[in-house]
């Protein structure tokens, strides 16, 4: 009898890693029966996957208040523990825009004031579980698990409150539970809301972070697996040819292209200015005899018009290849990735010379292809001395994992961009060894074996 593994998708975050990689097919080959417990709007049966659709997914009305309070409590305790004020930078301002949000913010602040201690944090954690066990969603989850009888529930994302009830139901029934920490910057931010029997992390570095921030977790509960999100980069067999990629996307076959990878509007509210500065630098290089273009890939959850003027002004130079995500609702978490976009990103990386961006994990995607990455490292008039200052951004804890500053090409001013791009294109390998060293700190190597390690860990746990 095959071991049925419920792959819990509380939102669309896990689609890329676990539905659009080799993870599912590998599980079948390994003798498992992977089943997506699916809370996304996508019909995964149409993709050939086995799924059980989630119904009645609704948290207790007070859970979100306790969740928000828990985050602030954890950040305050992290400051006490480390004597480092950086954790204050992970807080979001409270909203008072209407009566409902004002009541919610006031209740959250009261909980923070009365629970900011180790024992207070434990009370908040237990209260969240108690609340969620009273919901119809918890009862539904119990009934589903009793009917389906999976050998494990594997949660693809540690952040959503909607994952709490299904995981509590699994624990109630004695079914092992696992959570995957889905991004390299998540743990210092105090984003973990689920508590499971085991945790899968990207690297030894992330394991140390997990044990540092959550001292109730024991080392034997943590498996270092890597993440499937980079696996496709090792498979070059289905790559679109340069001629086909350029023809499909209206690119000039005579040009070499660099990629400008856009950031989200919260992290980089003046990102359009950085794109404009990059375009001016490329014009300068072309005036010197280069023949360069720019492929602009916006942040998948940014549907704003903020780049429009720059794109119109530079339409002879910049080609916008928008991510092929589907917008199913109004919230950012209803904008979901597609298989087609995974391939578009791979083709874009393969057919561009380098990437320019503000501090994103694209540095690791490009490192998989031995290609360089430039990080924008200057403020505009609008971002200086604000929460979006690059000084604040590059002080975030996850950037401290960089083993050498030469892992990226730093762009310290608009005037420096042309020189740095010129030098990088002349010697594209100069930063690669340091970029790969950083990648090895962040993600277990070889990166293409993450799914293999995950299924091996699953087998070890259930047996």
Domain ranges of the chain: 3-59+135-227+447-462, 63-131, 234-442
Question: Is-same-fold flag (3-59+135-227+447-462; 234-442)?
Answer: yes
- Asked if residue 446 has a cis previous peptide bond (ω within 30° of 0), the answer is yes
Residue 296 makes CB contacts below 8 A (sequence gap 6+) with 259, 260, 262, 275, 307, 311, 318, 319, 320, 321
Burial class from Cβ neighbours inside 10 Å (0-12, 13-18, 19+) for residue 48 reads exposed
| Concatenated DSSP letters of 199-214 | EEESSHHHHHHHHHH-
The rounded distance, in Å, linking the Cα atoms of 189 and 397 is: 9
**CATH superfamily for domain 3-59+135-227+447-462:** Glycogen Phosphorylase B; (3.40.50.2000)
* Per-residue pLDDT tens digits of the chain, which is 463 residues long: 579 999 999 998 899 999 999 999 999 999 999 999 999 988 999 989 999 999 889 999 999 999 999 999 999 999 999 999 999 999 999 999 999 999 999 999 999 999 999 999 999 999 999 999 999 999 999 999 999 999 999 999 999 999 999 999 999 999 999 999 999 999 999 999 999 999 999 999 999 999 999 999 999 999 999 999 999 999 988 899 999 999 999 999 999 999 999 999 988 999 999 999 999 999 999 999 999 999 999 998 888 999 999 999 999 999 999 999 887 766 655 678 888 999 999 999 999 999 999 999 999 999 999 999 999 999 998 888 777 899 999 999 999 999 988 999 999 999 999 999 999 999 999 999 999 999 999 999 999 999 999 999 999 999 8
The CATH-assigned architecture of domain 234-442 is 3-Layer(aba) Sandwich (3.40)
Q: Which tokens in the block code for residue 290?
A: 């280069």
**296, containing H or E segment:** strand 292-297
């Amino acid at each position: 009898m095959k071991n049925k593994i419920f792959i819990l998708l509380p939102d669309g975050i896990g689609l890329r890693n676990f539905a659009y990689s080799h993870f599912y097919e590998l599980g079948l080959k390994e003798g498992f029966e992977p089943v997506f417990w699916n809370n996304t709007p996508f019909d995964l049966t149409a993709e050939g996957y086995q799924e059980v659709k989630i119904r009645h997914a609704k948290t207790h009305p007070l859970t979100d208040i306790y969740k928000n309070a828990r985050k602030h409590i954890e950040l305050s305790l992290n400051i006490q523990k480390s004597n480092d004020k950086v954790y204050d930078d992970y807080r979001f301002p409270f909203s008072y825009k209407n009566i409902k949000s004002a009541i919610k913010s006031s209740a959250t602040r009261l909980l923070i004031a009365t629970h900011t201690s180790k024992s207070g944090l434990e009370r908040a954690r237990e209260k969240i579980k108690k609340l969620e066990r009273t919901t119809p969603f918890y009862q539904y989850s119990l009934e589903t698990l009793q009917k389906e009888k999976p050998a494990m529930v594997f949660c693809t994302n540690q952040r959503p409150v909607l994952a709490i009830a299904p995981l509590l139901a699994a624990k109630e029934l004695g079914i092992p539970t696992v959570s995957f920490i889905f991004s390299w910057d998540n743990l210092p931010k105090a984003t973990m809301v689920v508590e499971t029997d085991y945790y899968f992390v990207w690297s030894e570095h992330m394991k140390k972070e997990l044990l540092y921030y959550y001292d109730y977790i024991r080392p034997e509960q943590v498996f270092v697996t890597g993440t499937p999100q980079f696996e496709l980069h090792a498979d070059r067999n289905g790559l679109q040819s340069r001629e086909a990629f350029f023809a499909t996307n209206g690119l000039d076959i005579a040009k070499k292209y660099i990629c400008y990878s856009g950031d989200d509007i919260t992290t980089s509210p003046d990102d359009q200015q950085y794109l404009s500065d990059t375009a001016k630098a490329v014009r300068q290089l072309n005036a010197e005899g280069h023949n360069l273009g720019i492929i602009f890939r916006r942040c998948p959850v940014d549907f704003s018009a903020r780049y429009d003027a720059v794109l119109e002004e530079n339409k002879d130079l910049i080609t916008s290849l928008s991510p092929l995500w589907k917008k199913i609702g109004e919230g950012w978490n209803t904008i979901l990735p597609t298989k087609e976009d995974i391939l578009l990103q791979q083709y874009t990386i393969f057919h561009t010379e380098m990437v320019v961006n503000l501090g994103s994990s694209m540095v690791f995607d490009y490192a998989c292809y031995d290609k360089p990455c430039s990080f924008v490292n200057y403020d505009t008039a609008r971002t200086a001395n604000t929460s979006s200052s690059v000084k604040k951004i590059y002080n975030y804890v996850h950037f401290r994992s960089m083993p050498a500053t030469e892992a990226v090409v730093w762009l310290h001013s608009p005037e420096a961009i042309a020189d740095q791009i010129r030098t990088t294109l002349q010697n594209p390998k100069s930063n690669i060894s340091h970029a790969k060293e950083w990648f090895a700190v962040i993600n277990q190597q070889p990166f293409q074996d993450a799914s293999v390690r995950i299924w091996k860990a699953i087998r070890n746990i259930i047996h």
